[in-house]
Amino acid sequence: MLPDDLTQNLSIAACPVPTEQLPLNEYEDLKESWFFRWATFERSRYIGKIIWVWLWSWAIAAPIAAASFPFEKYPAKFLLTSSGGAIFLVLLVLSRLYLGWSYVSSRLMDAKVFYEESGWYDGQTWIKPSEVLARDRLVVSYQIQPILNQMQGTFAVLAGALGIGAIVWRFLN
């Protein structure tokens, strides 16, 4: 009988998946990327990044809103439409963040890993050994799921802001 650490090394050593396509390595790459690591920041810094995107989105949304509702004539409608347009752009950025983290989460949770040996035409499937699967699922439970939950909360807050804006808009007419 082999010791546990040797067994684990043998199962990983026998893995045919290229290192850059291993789900755990994809997770590490995502954590270190400039854009996707925003979701890993502590809450105040994460919210700061979202607000930063929202403020920059105003540069696009405000001129469009001003074309329909000049600030001098319709200040409330201008503020609501430009804020809503900026939130829409934030939702696009947040959706990209969420989709990236969700993809890596599903790759880690799956018992089978689809990978490409040398190109799109020769895909293979590798069945994870139980210890690798357990490790990957722990990473999802303790590292990725809190990130996804935080982003879902951000989606809810932004949806609530759009809903409140719609109610206020209704009373402006």
Tens of pLDDT, residue by residue over 18-29, are 899 999 999 999
Residue type, 138: L
Q: What is the pLDDT of residue 1?
A: 42
Whether 6 has a pLDDT exceeding 60, the answer reads: no
pLDDT band at 47 (very low <50, low <70, confident <90, very high): very high
Q: Lowest mean pLDDT: which of 4-8, 123-127, 133-137, 154-158?
A: 4-8
> Sorting pLDDT into bands at 50, 70 and 90, what band is 11?
low
Residues 113 and 28: beta-carbon distance below 8 Å? no
For 136, counting Cβ atoms within 10 Å of its Cβ (0-12 exposed, 13-18 middle, 19+ buried), the class is buried
* pLDDT above 90: percentage of residues in the chain: 79
Q: What is the pLDDT of residue 10?
A: 44
Which of 6-15, 40-49, 103-112, 161-170 is the least confident region? Answer: 6-15
Per-residue pLDDT, 120: 66
How many domains in the chain? 1
- Distances in Å between the Cα of 16 and the Cα atoms of 72, 115, 116, 121, 166 are 65, 9, 10, 17, 53
Q: What is the mean pLDDT of residues 135-139?
A: 97
Q: pLDDT > 70: what percent of the chain?
A: 90
Task: Compute the mean pLDDT over every residue in the chain, rounded to the nearest whole number.
Answer: 91
**Are residues 97 and 151 in contact, defined by beta-carbon separation less than 8 angstroms?**
yes
The pTM for the full model equals 0.86
Residue 32's domain comprises 4-172
What does DSSP say about strands 112-116 and 123-127: parallel, antiparallel, or unpaired?
Answer: antiparallel
Neighbours of 23 (CB within 10 A): 23
